[in-house]
Amino acid sequence: MLARVFACALVGLEGVVVDVEVDTASNLPKMVIVGLPDAAVQESRERVQSAIKNSGLVFPRKKVTVNLAPAAVRKEGPSYDLPIAVGVLISTRQIPPDAFNDSLIIGELSLDGSVRHVSGILPMAALARQQGYKRVIVPAEDAKEAALIPGLEVVPVPSLSALYAHATGGVPLQPQEPIKIEDLTPVVQTDFKEIKGQEHVKRALEVAAAGGHNVLMMGPPGAGKTLLARALPAIMPHMSVDEALDVTRIYSIADQLPADVPLIRTRPFRAPHHTISHAGLVGGGNWPRPGEVSLAHRGVLFLDELPEFGQRVLEVLRQPVEDKVVTISRAAGSLTFPANFMLVAAMNPCQCGYYGDPLKPCTCSPSQVTSYQKRISGPLLDRIDIHIQVPRVDYQKLSSSQLSEASGTVQERVEAAREQQRQRFIGDGLPFNEMIHCNADMRPAGIRAFCKLTPEGENLMRSAMSQLQLSARSYHRVLKLARTIADLAGCGEIAPSHLAEALQYRPRMEIG
């Protein structure tokens, strides 16, 4: 008898429905899986046979042929175990043939028949609803993740025997209650009020959060660069439901979603070590997977000790920083992953870390200082909007019991500035508006429309172009930064004071 059930394959961040066709024939006992399966899918033959037998069911002593269609789509991972087992049970008439006609089945099997967690449940459930399936059958520990998709019945399955009892009219499985996204509270993060001193750096980070700008912090060891970077997500705008689902989908596919967190409500903060490979940073592999730039989507990518990263690793960042996506091409095809993140980098001024420090002398020679700073290429520095010095904090500020301004207060100002930007970009009706979420996303057409300068501002900008040797990209970035500062001040036009503050965040000498 020919049986047919439905599973799901993942191609990049999107799901594809897979027809699992199972046929039994009176030949020598053998199980064959076709349809471009990888090694993990091929190994499901052994898992399915043992799981069926150890669940008290009968595996046929016949030839079993499993076809995973469409054959042109690569099938990887163990999530096909459960649909294949169900197909075998339907083919041998142990389960009614129409028991799962309107269901998408996902799950890995243990040898004892229990159903294990699989990655990518959220995009699979979203595909099930999009394709009109009434329910999705998933491992019990993944049910809350699938229940984030409204209008879809989610059936958690602890074991193959429990699913058999459900399908044959025995003990029915209770569907998972829908998850209300509003009830999921964000995780508490590092608060600005706990950071002593560094008021000018906090101001720079507030401007960065308000406009989505990239930041480079330079200062001696122990000045608080890492702590300031970790506090940045707490002042960024709250994630919308769409943003939260977008981020959670990436983490689900990368199998980095915590077991007790069905939805990520806090903006991501990723801090890879400087020994990371370029494939680990932007994504890659024989079958490409998301890298750190995609895991930082809608959040912060923090690169500590920036000059210690490999030259090739830093150069591959240039395209994602500019385009907000990363495209990985392989012989089998190309995949595009989102990478709309804020780049926050930190570095010491020299190899010993104390060049320019007023208290501790630097032990590096001038050539060593220059060589160390030259590890960062000019084109990458040109893509960073805010360059800020982070000096050491003096004793009076460190020992003070007075707390600084709380992150929640700063976040309110950032939210107000972002709301101005949303209204500006949505209300104008220009064709580029759909791609703009904040000032940092503006293209030249948007800069011409929204970043007009007064005559005094034009004179100031003309002088700055000459003295700071700004490139065309830097010129546009200064204007976008000034627009953000004006938004924080609640001003409709860019005043010379806003432009002057934006120019203070540029390095003294541009490296072209």
> What are the tens digits of pLDDT across the range 141-178?
999 999 999 999 999 999 999 999 999 988 999 999 98
Sign (positive or negative) of CA dihedral 461, 465, 471, 474: negative
The predicted pLDDT at position 512 comes to: 33
**Statement: residue 179 has pLDDT above 70:** yes
The predicted pLDDT at position 12 comes to: 86
| Mean of the per-residue pLDDT values of the chain | 91
The predicted pLDDT at position 496 comes to: 94
The two beta strands, 283-284 and 289-290, are antiparallel
Strands of the 2-11 sheet, one edge to the other? 30-34, 63-69, 14-25, 2-11, 103-105, 135-139, 153-157
SS3 326: strand
**Statement: residue 427 has pLDDT above 80:** no
Residue 319 host element (H or E): helix 318-323
| CB-based contact 20:81 (threshold 8 Å) | no
The CATH architecture to which 192-410 belongs is: 3-Layer(aba) Sandwich (3.40)
The predicted pLDDT at position 188 comes to: 62
Neighbours of 240 (CB within 10 A): 10
**Statement: residue 208 has pLDDT above 60:** yes
> What are the tens digits of pLDDT across the range 432-464?
444 578 999 888 888 998 998 989 999 999 999
**Class of the domain covering 427-504:** mainly alpha
Note the pTM of the prediction, 2 decimals. Answer: 0.91
φ/ψ (deg, to 5) at 379: -60, -35
The predicted pLDDT at position 489 comes to: 94
Domain positions in the chain are 2-179, 192-410, 427-504
The predicted pLDDT at position 367 comes to: 94
| 512/501 Cα distance (integer angstroms) | 22
Sign (positive or negative) of CA dihedral 457, 458, 464, 467: negative
Q: Using alpha carbons only, what angle is made at residue 270 by residues 488 and 196, rounded to the nearest 5 degrees? A: 55
Q: What percentage of the chain has pLDDT greater than the value 70?
A: 96
User: Poorest-confidence range of 59-68, 113-122, 259-268?
Assistant: 259-268
> What are the tens digits of pLDDT across the range 26-78?
888 999 999 999 999 999 999 999 999 999 999 999 999 999 999 989 899 99
| CB-based contact 81:13 (threshold 8 Å) | no
User: Poorest-confidence range of 45-49, 313-317, 480-484?
Assistant: 313-317
| 115/119 Cα distance (integer angstroms) | 13
Q: Residue 142 carries which DSSP code?
A: G
The CATH architecture to which 2-179 belongs is: 2-Layer Sandwich (3.30)
The predicted pLDDT at position 305 comes to: 94
User: Poorest-confidence range of 67-81, 179-193, 233-247, 322-336?
Assistant: 179-193
DSSP string, 424-479: HHHHH--GGGGG-SSGGG--HHHHHHH--B-HHHHHHHHHHHHHTT--HHHHHHHH
The predicted pLDDT at position 510 comes to: 39
| 301/382 Cα distance (integer angstroms) | 17
Task: Label residue 329 by pLDDT band (50, 70, 90).
Answer: confident
